[in-house]
Every structure is written in structure tokens, then in C-alpha cells.
Amino acid sequence: MDDQYLSIPEVAVLLGTTERFPRRLVSERRIRFVKVGRHVRIPKSAVIAFIESHTVEPVQPRRRARRAA
């Protein structure tokens, strides 16, 4: 159990968003979280997994075939 548990403000800083975004992720159950009493904690591994699953890789541009003149 080496995972670090982050509060909503800490997750917001890590994602570079407002606190509203991680709260919405929790309410829509789009990220793993733990309830500790009335407090919500999100494992750092869940934040990293969320980022990785929503990362879009760049597309390599296709070379256009030249037309014969």
C-alpha cells in the first residue's frame, strides 16, 4: 500500500484545473476514489491512470503524392 492519497485541492493542482473538475470526476464516478468519513481521497495512481487514458498521441502527417504536371 505505497499509494499516496490526495485531496481534491491536491488533485486539482496536479491536473492544473480548478477544484470543480476533480469533484465532477468523483461525482460522475469517472475516477477511482476513497471515502474517509465525509472526506474524499483520490489515489495518485488513479490520477496518473486517468491522465494516461485520456492522452492523445500525435498523428504522423502523411506525405502527399505529387501530381504529374
Domain coordinates of the chain in residue numbers?
A: 5-53
Reported confidence tier of residue 4, pLDDT bands at 50, 70, 90: very high
* pLDDT for position 67: 74
The three cell numbers of residue 48 are 496518473
* pLDDT for position 1: 59
* pLDDT for position 65: 73
* pLDDT for position 9: 98
Q: What is the pLDDT of residues 8-66, one digit of tens each?
A: 999 999 999 999 999 999 999 999 999 999 999 999 999 999 999 999 999 888 877 77
Q: What residues pair up with 36 in beta bridges, in sequence order?
A: 39
The three cell numbers of residue 43 are 489515489
